[in-house]
Amino acid sequence: MYPSTSEFLTLRGMRMHVRVWGSEDAPKLFLLHGWQDFSGSFQFLVDALAGEWRCIAPDWRGFGQSQWNHGCYWFPDYLADLDALLDHYSPDAPARIVGHSMGGNVLCVYAGVRPERVTGLVTLEGFGLPAADPEDAPGRYRHWLDQSRQLAPSRRYADRAALAQRLQRLNPRLSAERASFLAEHFGVEDGADSADPARPIVVASDPCHKLLAPYPYRLEEAKACWRRVSAPVLWVEGSESSAMAMYHGLGEDDYEGRMACFSHLRREVIQDAGHNLHHDQPEQLARLIEAFFS
């Protein structure tokens, strides 16, 4: 595997971990992971890249080795964290950025808010969420209040091998070798919790991420940002993705309407890939990314 180095920055008062591959003088490629994931998730994609790249992948706040809020997480904070990250690593030039799932959602909104900071973007199934009904707001707020009273604990594992098996159950396409790598780097020993010493391994993710957001998702606001994106967009989906089943279940008009917001969009479908297409088919994905940015 292509070796990476870890850098720790203070961005907006938060200690952020950033994983970096490649030489300093190579073209920069930013990689933004999804929800319940971490920067090392892109290792297989980095290994598959044919060209020389300086790959820069942060752990979002509350994930991996970055600082946790130990409280609520708000979507605009991810935009501001990305803004600060780009100011640090690419202050004088617009960036090439790849975002998966939540990372893609952050990226697509950011590229409309700061179009001058992005020269090209690849969104891996980060196409927004289903539009929410405002009438659901009272129930969402009530549910959020109830959740906040007693946060559900993190799932625990006897060892990293058990975590790797869990990852393979969630994604049968994930090889044992890749599952072991992910479990080794995203699973941590939580010695502070003696309630279950037989299962000391947890995923390095703040349990507060699992709180349902109190506010409904506002699709039209996201679309307003997408329409301001001036950079070329590569829209990539997996042919066997459960997330894509959700999108297509919203109706063809809804799906086509999301793509139509971007003025320079190219769509690609990767065969035999689920939602984590950077795990399932990193070689195919790497070829698409490099061809797009070339």
Per-residue pLDDT of the chain (294 residues; tens, 9 = 90+): 999 999 999 999 999 999 999 999 999 999 999 999 999 999 999 999 999 999 999 999 999 999 999 888 999 999 999 999 999 999 999 999 999 999 999 999 999 999 999 999 999 999 999 998 999 999 999 999 998 888 888 889 999 999 999 999 999 999 999 999 999 999 998 865 556 778 899 999 999 998 888 988 999 999 999 999 999 999 999 999 999 988 989 999 999 999 999 999 999 999 999 999 999 999 999 999 999 998
For residue 213, is it within any domain? Answer: no
Give the number of domains in the chain. Answer: 1
Host domain of residue 103: 4-131+218-293
Query: Which residue do the tokens 């795990």 mark?
Result: 279
For residue 194, is it within any domain? Answer: no
For residue 181, is it within any domain? Answer: no
Query: What 3-state class would DSSP assign to 25?
Result: coil
pLDDT of residue 196: 75
Instruction: Kindly report the pTM of this predicted structure.
Output: 0.96
Q: How far is Cα of residue 88 from the mean position of the Cα atoms in its chain?
A: 20
Looking at residue 30, the DSSP 8-state letter turns out to be E
Which CATH number covers residue 12?
Answer: 3.40.50.1820
| Measured distance CA(284)–CA(286) in Å, rounded | 5
pLDDT of residue 223: 98
For residue 137, is it within any domain? Answer: no
For residue 210, is it within any domain? Answer: no
For residue 158, is it within any domain? Answer: no
For residue 25, is it within any domain? Answer: yes
Going through 1-109 in order, the beta strands assigned E by DSSP cover: 5-11, 14-21, 28-32, 54-58, 95-100
Residue 49 identity: L
